Chain A
Amino acid sequence: MIPVLNKELKLSDLRQGNSLSSVVKHITQEEINRYAEASGDFNPIHIDESFAAQTPLGGTIAHGMLILAYVSEMMTVAFGKNWLSGGKFSVRFKAPARPTDTITITGKIDSIEHKEGVSHINCGVESHNQKGEAIVAGKATVKLGA
């Protein structure tokens, strides 16, 4: 496991297979509404229960960008400023996160590559709900020594 909030992260601390400290969040409609207010994304699929009930999704869902904020939180805790400047990720939304869901974000170092004096830490990232269903899956990369 990578030490939490490593402000002066050293490459020697990192190994392939290391797990990142997971992030667990309980989703509520109030939090979704708060995120809509903060982000300005008022798509009714997120905030209007009667509208959302009539769609194939059958109810409101959390903003994808809110779930990605949790992924980014995990990466920030693990890699500090290296993530804020030098982070990169590519993810797919597998299923919606719904009010009352508990979402767990996990990550693991898949590989460490060295290119032209820069180390690229490649991580697999995932999030699951309390039933074990995948919500988000993808890859994230952090550059160290850039």
Chain B
Amino acid sequence: MEQKKTSGKSPIKIEQLDVGYEFPPSSYELEPLVIAKYLEAVGRPSEQNSPAPEFVPPMAIAAYTMNAVAESFALPPGSIHASQELEFLKLVPVGTTIDCHGRVAQKVNRGQLHLLVIELEALNQDRERVLSGQATLVVPN
């Protein structure tokens, strides 16, 4: 997957993230080979069983958007997902270029851990929102 970053700076550390911080926007293209690799990885039914093989599975967009946002900061090893909210707003054809945006919605320090809530948004090349959501991560200090 070709991913374009808009910032060449060093990854941001968790300590530097404040509520309201907006991650540098990035974009990626949902190429057919990328989607084929994703479908193989999640063990999805064969194409003839798919309701719409010409469209990208929404969890692929969610995963790539999360990853694109997380690329810009140094997520400590051992970080895990606590909860996830997602809304799939539009069908996304294979081949679409997605622009991703992320923002820190909440950050709570709990001793050895941080709870980090990140709002996510993915737009297609027509600037239409195709996905929005919120991920809560447990991040070790």
Question: Assuming the A-B contacts A76-B57, A93-B82, are A40 and B64 also in contact, with contact meaning beta carbons closer than 8 angstroms in the complex?
Answer: yes
Q: Are A65 and B62 in contact (CB under 8 A)?
A: yes
Question: Which of B4-12, B17-25, B44-52, B102-110 contacts the other chain?
Answer: B44-52
* Chain A residues with CB under 8 A of B78: 43-45, 51, 55
Q: Are A88 and B87 in contact (CB under 8 A)?
A: yes
**Total A-B pairs in contact (CB under 8 Å)?**
124
> Quick check: is A133 within 8 A (CB to CB) of the other chain?
no
B contact face: mostly helix, strand, loop, or mixed: mixed
CA distance A86 to B59 in the complex (A): 13
Find residues 70-87 in chain B having any chain A CB closer than 8 Å to their own CB.
Answer: 70, 75, 77-87
B57 touches A69 (CB 8 A): yes
- Mark each residue of chain B from 29 to 59: 1 if its CB lies under 8 Å from any CB of chain A, else 0: 0000010011011111100011110010111
Which residues of A come within 8 Å of B, CB atoms?
5, 7, 25, 31, 34-35, 37-41, 43-45, 51, 55, 57, 61, 63-66, 68-70, 72-73, 76-77, 80-81, 83-93, 96, 138
Please give the residue numbers on chain B whose beta carbons come within 8 Å of chain A beta carbons, in ascending order. Answer: 1, 34, 37-38, 40-45, 49-52, 55, 57-60, 62-64, 66-67, 70, 75, 77-91
